Amino acid sequence: MIGELLVTAGVLVLLFLGWQTWWNSAVLAGQQTSAATKQGEEWLPPRHETVPRATSSPTPVAPPVEKAPAPAQPLAVIYVPRFGVHWKRIIRETVDVQSVLNSYDAGVGHYPGTAMPGQIGNFAIAAHDTGYGNTFIDVSKLRIGDAVYIQTPQGFYTYRFRNYEYVQPDAVDVLLPVPRRHGVAAKQRLITMTTCNPPYHAQERMAAYGVFESWQRTPPAAIAAEVGK
What are the C-alpha distances in Å from 83 to residues 32, 64, 79, 198?
14, 27, 9, 17
pLDDT tens, 37-71?
999 999 998 765 555 444 445 555 589 999 999 99
> Model pTM?
0.85
For the stretch 199-211, pLDDT in tens is: 767 789 999 999 9
C-alpha distances in Å from residue 45, one per residue of 33, 48, 154, 218:
20, 8, 9, 7
Residues β-bridged to residue 91? 76, 108
131 near 21, Cβ under 8 Å?
Answer: yes
Contact 140, 173 (CB under 8 A): no
Tens digit of pLDDT for each residue in 162-200? Answer: 999 999 999 999 999 999 999 999 999 999 999 998 876
Q: How far is CA 70 from CA 25, 56, 92, in A?
A: 27, 29, 9
Residues 12-17 have a mean pLDDT of 41
Angle at 141 between CA 156 and CA 79, to 5 degrees: 20
Q: pLDDT-derived band of residue 226, with 50, 70 and 90 as boundaries? A: confident
Task: Judge whether residue 3 has pLDDT over 70.
Answer: no
